[in-house]
Amino acid sequence: MFQFLNIYNQCIYYTMHKIKIFGITYYCSLPSCLDEYLGITAIVIGLIGFFVQLGKTAKSLNVSSWSIYALILVGISEALFCIQGILKKSWSIAATRFCTFLGACLYIYFWVVATLKGKTK
């Protein structure tokens, strides 16, 4: 299985275009690398919104409507997406998913703290 992935990755990266952003090599499917620029822009906007909400949650600890099971599933899915980004050598996907994985872990932490303080039902 891993040999197949290795061969697949080699074929993909020989046909893709390369750019360097902040010293990191990115692989693009378009010659202009518009796909990677759009992805990085979306990542920055998404992370700003994510961390703004995380900051508000940290202050209020209002997590009464959240399911701990859903939070754990989000954490697992973000970790798996991070691994996928590493395997695809897409550092923008890997870095973003790692940040959102850490955010999911913080939400789980806030849920546990709120539960211990009696702020959840």
Mean per-residue pLDDT of the chain: 78
Hey, what are 49's tokens?
């919104």
Residue 102, C-beta contacts closer than 8 angstroms, at least 6 positions apart: none
Hey, what are 106's tokens?
């913080």
- Predicted pLDDT of residue 76: 92
pLDDT tens track for 85-117: 888 777 778 888 998 899 899 989 988 888 888
CA pair distance 82, 62, nearest whole angstrom: 28
- Predicted pLDDT of residue 34: 79
The segments of the chain whose pLDDT lies below 50 read none
CA pair distance 29, 11, nearest whole angstrom: 13
First to last CA, the chain: 46
CA pair distance 72, 76, nearest whole angstrom: 6
Q: What is the pTM of this model?
A: 0.62
- Predicted pLDDT of residue 91: 79
Domains and CATH numbers, the chain: 2-117 (1.20.1280.290)
Strand spans (E) along the chain: 17-21, 24-28
- Predicted pLDDT of residue 24: 76
